[in-house]
Amino acid sequence: MKQRQNTSEPILLSTVLLVCAANLVVLFYQSLENHFNAFFFFLVCAAVRLAPFFFPQFKLKRRYEISLFIIALIIILTSIIGKDILATLFTLLVCLQSLTILRLFSTRELKTCVWVLLFLVAANLLFFFEFQNVVILFMAVIVALSALINHFCNYNIYKEAVSRMINIALLALPVAVILFLVMPRLPPLWKMPKVESQSRGLQDKIRFGDIAELSQSSNLAFRASFDGQPPKTSQMYWRSFVLQNFDGNIWQRSEYMESWQKLVKTRRSGVQWKNLQAPAVNYQVITEASYQNWLFALDLATSRQQGVISLPDFSLYSSETLTQKFRYQVTSYPESQLTDFDNNQIKQLNLQLPNVANPKTEQWVKALKQQSTTDAELIQAVLNYFNQQDFYYSLKPEVLESPKIDDFLFNTRTGFCEHYAGTFTYIMRLAGIPARVVVGYLGGEYNPAGDYFSVYQFDAHAWAEIWQADKGWVRIDPTSYVAPERVEFNLQQAIGNDEFLAERDFSLFKYDQFAAIRTMRMLISNLDYQWTLWVLNYDATKQKDLLKKLFGETSGLAFTLKLAFLILGLFSFIFVVGWLLAHKKSPQSQLQRLQQKATQKLAKKYQIQRRQGQTLRQLKRQTQQHSEALAQNWQTFCQHFEQLEYAPLSQAQFKIHYRACQQLIKQL
Amino acid sequence: MLTQVSKWRQLRFKHWLNQRIPAANSLSLNKRNIFIFPSWAGLAYLAVSLAIFILATNYESNLSLLLCYWLLALFLILLYLSYFNLSGMALSASPLKPVHVGDRLQLEVSLQSNKKHFHLNWLDEVNTQIKQTSPGREIIKLSWNAKRRGNWVLPRVKLFSQAPSGLFNVWTYPDFNQQVLIYPKLIACPEYAFGTGKNTTKEGDLNQPLQGVDFQGLKNYQKGDSLSRVAWKRASFSQNWQIKHFEQTQDQQIWFSIYKVQADSIEEKLSKLAWLVTNAHHQEITYGLQLSHIELDPAQGESHLKMCLEQLAKHP
Amino acid sequence: MDKLSSIIINKISDVVLGKEQQIKLALSCLLAKGHLLIEDLPGMGKTTLSHALSAAMGLSFSRVQFTSDLLPADIIGVSIFKSDSHEFNFHPGPIFNQVVLADEINRASPKTQSALLEAMAENQVSVDGKTYPLDDPFFVIATQNPLYQSGTYPLPESQLDRFLMRISLGYPPKTAELEMLQQVQTEKQDYAQFACITATELTEIQQAVNHIHASDSLLNYILELVSLSRQSSEFPYPLSPRASQAILQAAKAWAFIEGRDFVTADDVQAIFPAVTEHRLSPALNAASPDTSYSQKLLDAVDPV
């Protein structure tokens, strides 16, 4: 294929398609974080650019083009209002990218488009770090770069360009991984505006029905892997945060505790627990990005990790918002008593009652209190009431009428864990026992392949804690009296498969009864876990560990030498593989080499030069001038070589002749 | 002063280039004669990688960092691939053919290689491009305008490519060691088609313009025919003018002389003479050429024509 | 089979002395089912060669001397009205032989020439609306005289393409000529006992030639040669696809004669000038003595 042109070449359809495909993916991801205006704008621009290929008479009028520019301007301006600077920046980039695609007529724009795309991918990777998303985004990069290759190599068959680019990309991957592993990490160069997003998972303001709604989600909350024997899943009460204030409708954090939160954020140090009782359970937790600060741990949790702070209500708190997956090490002492250091104030806080009255409940509690002599008796009576009356555990509780507790206790009697925990706490407070609601997760799914527990959003749970003078805070889970299966097994067992994830028909969890699907789900989950463990949470400390493992020590001349050696080896690896890639081996090239060797030997040893266009056999006359033996040898070589080159041979025959040729070259 | 420095630099560069890529009819491309440097796009790519690195460091995003390292690794691999796109190619040029001023000089370069090459650009006067070459032999034609009469030395030709990714400029400057004579432009002058005669100052013999030709008959007058050959006697009683047509007999010979051709400049004279000898060659007339520095005795044939044109081209 | 071909070659060499290369070329031309054009001065043994060739193959032979007054009917034959049976009766001309020697083909008028060439292309002739098939191994050997051109009609290049090969015999080497002089004393050559094979055997051999293996690299070599002639402006008449077919076919026949069941680059080089020279420079005598066009091509392309 040969063409001559003076002007810069036009952009081929296949190139435009590749660019659009890559942008489609990247900009879609981008819009998930911001809003879809810019994405729709991109779709319009791409359609306008592609139209002339399919409708040759199509031409965009000047004023429409200008109006597209104006629309882009409007989208950017609206994004400035009420959004943070980062979102505006990205909207700007997306709009510019769309306009570049609209005017994608020369090499220059193509390049601009690809460079911007690379940057956008990097930005997207801040938000989307799950394994599958990363794979998709990296594929988008490959597609974008193959658009460049397609343009410069004029393949015009995008399959060819993409496959070539995939070759190159796979080649680059080991190099990138090694660089990633050994290159020293720099601390952040300057403070950047925080990545912001809607907080995910449990919110620290709980209405009746909130957790039930959250339980519709099968998203991962966190994973935990235990160093030794893990506790029973029915004992895995993952504490996230504690709610003290109740206004008759909403449970939320008390101001006192919120002031603590603020304090630890600035001081970066929390409460030190004393009187810890063995045994200790060591484990590490990797949370998903929740865009909150709450961490998850079993009671009584301590952590030595920097940035992980213990609050007085026994929960763990991160000093930074969790914008990425976060891994932390926890040591829990399950036998320890939960005793506060500031008893009186805590006591007062946890006796707070809402202004809204629940007259029926109040009466009922009063009656109960008169009947029972000790607190324990009272508590047992309440729990028995939950157990014996027809209370139901349901993901879809009815909406409660005000006064809500009355409505729940005596009317609807259908609720999720927050109903039971909230109501129980309220009753305790009415009875004068300090009590509070604890929110977190219960249980977890064990993944044997990766030896870790996955805790999903549908494992979200709420329970109650009451203060007892001799024991401190005691956990009471009223839900277990209504639906014991929830605690013993999991949510799916407790409410049945029909109600479980009712709105998500395509969730793999729904098909757990099929062993194959379950195994597959576990496999994917494990893959994602290892990905998180090794890629997302690879940091300077891990790097140091790895280098230590590889080289013994991480300083000194020997280490430097070894590192230099490694990097040198890396480059030679690229060189060799690149060379191989450029000179793809084939039986033809094998023969070529053979021929080259033979003629070079003749030239060097006997000064017999092969002219262009001469066949090997034609050199025989020149060999004859040297000696008859040489000519004889040369002739047999030619015979074998002709067989190799021209005759139809089987694999075995090929080998025989090839060997003979090599032998003869040596004898020349 | 500045121009002198730059001139000196240019000279140094030329000298260095001559050592690096000596003039030769053929050249096989290898690491000695291929130059490679990131293009502007390549620098932009590095800048984007740096931006991603800063983003990754500041947000402590491992994935962005991985992306950055991956892009850098790609950059390295593409460096090799860009080099391999040109390397292993053998160029050889076939001899240039002489042309007249105003025509195009064509250099045929044959490319031979055992692999595909992409997007080759030649910096000749029309910026020849080849999008793809398949393994084997391929011939491309580079062309230049023949502007001035005389000896023309083929300059160094630039062959460059940005394939496969546009991140690198890979180029080479082969010097095919060729030169060729450019003949004068052809300017028709039918009035001298039957010879101008030799300059009389040198030799005594006068050969008349129409001597040695036989009257063959009459032909219709066409514009451009010499008025001196119009048959006036017939014109007086006939509607159409006719001219007397003469045929050259085989053994007759004519002379073209630079002293006899009338023109404004010496260049025009040479151009007219060039047309005259070419024309005479086509009509198979035996002709001689008289120039100020040389005299070519009457003869016929390709080699005689070539000699005449060469002398016209070399005319001081 | 190669033994057989060497027997044939030896036999013909007894008659046409010192011209082994040309005999091999002529034989391979015959085996490749192509027609042969011999360009040479008179008295070089053109007729002897063709006669010996046809005799060795056991084929019927006829010779037509082309002159300017030769008519197409003189070659093809005529329909003659027979008064006793009141119908036309076709009298076949000399073309109804297996080997036809068209001597000095360029002396006949273009009309006569094209009658012969059409018959060669279609393997049949039509007279008065009736078609008559020609003999099965049908082989035309045409000769032309390169020197004396006045009063001749040179074959147009489109017609030249129909000949698979053009060869010229040239003067014999001294020793061969001496031998020839000694031979003249003896009686005239008797072609009766000359046959080595029969016509059916020849057809079989031609089939076998078709099945000779040509590897991809060899086909590539041929393609490169051909495409170079198209790309470079050095060659005024580029080679047609029919020419590349002809090269392959002739090379196969040559490989057969060499006793191989596959074609090598040497085979291609051996037949290449004969097959392509008349296509590359159709004008008589145009090839400059130093390097011919076909040699230029061979020199420029590396085999394999």
pLDDT of residue A578: 67
Which phi and psi angles does A37 have, rounded to 5°?
A: -55, -50
Domain membership flag for residue A537: no
Claim to verify: residue B62 and residue B109 sit in the same structural domain? yes
Chain A residue nearest residue C301, CA to CA: A613
Q: Do B126 and B175 fall into the same domain?
A: yes
B114/B170 same-domain check: yes
Under 8 Å between Cβ of A479 and A471: no
CB contact set of A596 (below 8 Å; sequence gap of 6+)? none
Last residue of a domain, one of A156, A182, A208: A182
Q: Are residues B113 and B257 in the same domain?
A: no
**Do B99 and B212 fall within a single domain?**
no
Q: For residue A414, list its beta bridge partners.
A: A392
Give residue B227's pLDDT band: very low, low, confident or very high (50, 70, 90).
low
Length of chain B in terms of residues written:
316
Predicted pLDDT at B250 = 43
Shared domain for B137 and B167, answered yes or no, is yes
Q: CA triplet B39, B41, B43: central angle to 5 degrees? A: 75
B133 within domain boundaries: yes
The verdict on residue B5 lying in a domain is no
| Whether residue B249 has pLDDT greater than 50 | no
Task: Tell me, yes or no, whether A490 and A617 share the same domain.
Answer: no
The whole-number pLDDT of residue A295 equals 92
Contact A646 C213 (CB under 8 A): yes
| Interface contact A613-C262, CB threshold 8 A | no
What span, in angstroms and rounded, lies between the C-alpha atoms of B207 and B211? 6
Residue of C nearest to A596 (CA): C304
Contact A645 C213 (CB under 8 A): no
* Rounded Cα–Cα distance for residues A279 and A263 (Å): 31
Identify the CA nearest to A381 among candidates A390, A371, A391. A371
A568 and A608 in a common domain:
no
Residue-number span of the structural domain to which A91 is assigned: 13-182
Q: How many CB atoms lie within 10 A of CB A502?
A: 13
Same domain for B222 and B94, yes or no, is no
Q: Is residue B177 located within the same domain as residue B194? A: no
**C-beta atoms of A615 and C218 within 8 A:** no
**CA pair distance A137, A121, nearest whole angstrom:** 7
Closest-CA residue of chain A to C219: A646
Same domain, A311 and A413: yes
- Do residue C299 and residue A595 have CB atoms under 8 angstroms apart? no
Tokens at A192, concatenated: 């950047």
Residue B272, C-beta contacts closer than 8 angstroms, at least 6 positions apart: B187, B189, B192, B261, B263
Q: Does residue A244 sit in the same domain as residue A153? A: no
User: Among all chains, which residue has been given the structure tokens 């957790």?
Assistant: A211
Q: What is the pLDDT of residues A425-462, one digit of tens each?
A: 999 998 888 899 999 999 888 988 888 999 998 889 99
Which of C217, C262, C298 has the CB atom closest to A613's CB atom? Answer: C298
Shared domain check, B130 and B47: yes
A569/A492 same-domain check: no
Domains of chain A: total: 4
Q: Nearest CA to A14 among A22, A4, A26, A5?
A: A22
Could you tell me if residue A517 is inside a domain? no
Q: Which residues of chain C have pLDDT under 50?
A: 284-287, 289
Beta partners for B288? B255
* Chain centre to alpha carbon of residue B234: 50
Using a CB-CB cut-off of 8 Å, the residues of chain B touching C301 are 137
Contacts of residue C232 in chain B, CB cutoff 8 Å?
94, 108, 110, 139
A371 in the same domain as A227: yes
Q: B136 and C231: CB-CB below 8 Å? A: no
Q: What residue ranges define each of the domains in chain C, with the CATH number in brackets?
A: 1-201 (3.40.50.300), 211-304 (1.10.8.80)
Query: Average pLDDT in the B196-222 region?
Result: 56
* Separation of alpha carbons A605 and A598, rounded Å: 11
Residue C90: half-sphere exposure toward Cβ, Cα within 13 Å: 16
Number of Cβ pairs closer than 8 Å across B and C? 24
The pairing of strands A392-393 and A414-415 is: parallel
Residue B45 lies in a domain: yes
**In chain B, how many domains are there?**
2
Helix (H) / strand (E) containing A341: none
Same domain, A354 and A500: yes
Q: Which two tokens stand for residue C52?
A: 């010996």
- Asked, for residue A191, whether it belongs to a domain, the answer is no
Pull the structure tokens for residue A189.
Answer: 């160069």
Q: Of A94, A87, A80, A78, whose CA–CA distance to A45 is shortest?
A: A94
Q: Do residues B259 and B168 make contact, with C-beta atoms less than 8 angstroms apart?
A: no
Do A113 and A166 lie in one domain? The reply is: yes
Do the Cβ atoms of A247 and A354 come closer than 8 Å? yes
User: Residue A528 falls within a domain, yes or no?
Assistant: no
| The pLDDT of residue A139 | 93
Cα distance between residue C89 and residue A207, in whole Å = 117
Of the residues A511, A538, A563, the one at which a domain ends = A511
Question: B41 phi and psi, to 5 degrees?
Answer: -65, -40
Check residue B202 and give its pLDDT: 47
Q: Which DSSP state fits C105? A: G
* B297 and B214 within one domain: yes
Which contiguous run of DSSP H or E holds residue C184? Answer: helix C174-184
The DSSP result for B203-257, as a single string, is -S----TTTTEEEEEEEE--TTS-GGGB-HHHHTTSSS-EEEEEEE-TT-EEEEE
**A1, A169, A188 ranked by CB distance to B58: nearest:** A188
> For residue C234, which residues of chain B lie inside 8 Å, CB to CB?
94, 108
The secondary structure of B117-167 as a DSSP string is: EEEEEE-STT--EEEEE-SEEEEEEEEEE--SSEEEEPPPPPEEE-TTTSS
Q: How far is CA A534 from each of CA A127, A537, A538, B73, rounded to the nearest angstrom?
A: 18, 6, 6, 20
ipTM > 0.95? no
- Asked if residue B43 has pLDDT above 90, the reply is yes
- Asked whether residue B4 is domain-assigned, the answer is no
Residue A336 half-sphere exposure, CB side, CA atoms within 13 Å? 21
Contact status of B108 with chain C (Cβ, < 8 Å): yes
- Output the pLDDT for position A3: 36
B208 pLDDT tier (thresholds 50, 70, 90) = very low
Q: Is residue B196 part of a domain?
A: yes
Neighbours of chain B (3+ CB pairs under 8 A): A, C
Contact A647 C213 (CB under 8 A): yes
The structure tokens 């001294």 sit at: C174
Pairing of the two strands B90-93 and A392-393: unpaired
Asked if C66 and C103 touch (Cβ cutoff 8 Å), the reply is yes
Shared domain for B121 and B159, answered yes or no, is yes
Query: Is the C-alpha dihedral spanning A364, A369, A371, A374 positive or negative?
Result: positive
Across B50-79, average pLDDT: 90
pLDDT at B70 > cutoff 90:
yes
Domain of residue B95, residue span? 20-181
- Is residue A562 assigned to a domain? yes
Task: Flag whether A350 is in a domain.
Answer: yes
Q: Residues for chain A: how many in total?
A: 668
* The pLDDT value given to residue B37: 92
Residues A390 and A488 in one domain: yes
Looking at the structure, tell me whether residues B157 and B207 fall in a common domain. no
CA-nearest residue to A642 within chain C is C264
Q: Residue B309 falls within a domain, yes or no?
A: yes
Low-confidence stretches of chain A (pLDDT < 70) are: 1-8, 82-83, 156, 192-196, 340-343, 502-506, 553-555, 578, 581-589
Contacts of A414 (CB under 8 A, 6+ apart): A391, A392, A394, A397, A398
Cβ–Cβ below 8 Å for B139 and C234: no
Chain A CA closest to residue B75: A172
Question: Is residue A527, in this structure, part of any structural domain at all?
Answer: no
Tell which B residues from 52 to 91 touch A, by Cβ distance under 8 Å: 52, 54-74, 76-78, 80-81, 84, 87-88
Q: Across-strand partners of C40?
A: none
Instruction: Judge whether B12 lies within some domain.
Output: no
**For C30-57, how does the pLDDT look when each residue is reduced to its tens digit (9 = 90+)?**
899 889 998 887 778 888 888 888 888 8
- Count of beta carbons in the 10 Å neighbourhood of residue C89: 10
Residue located via tokens 């203060």: A467
- Cα–Cα distances in Å, from B234 out to B210, B218, B238, B245, B282? 20, 10, 6, 14, 31
Collapsed DSSP state (helix, strand, coil) of residue B188: coil
Question: What is the reported pLDDT for C244?
Answer: 92
Instruction: Classify residue B135: in a domain, yes or no.
Output: yes
Task: Say which of A3, A183, A324 has its CB closest to residue B129.
Answer: A3
Q: Nearest residue on chain C to A619, judged by CA atoms?
A: C266
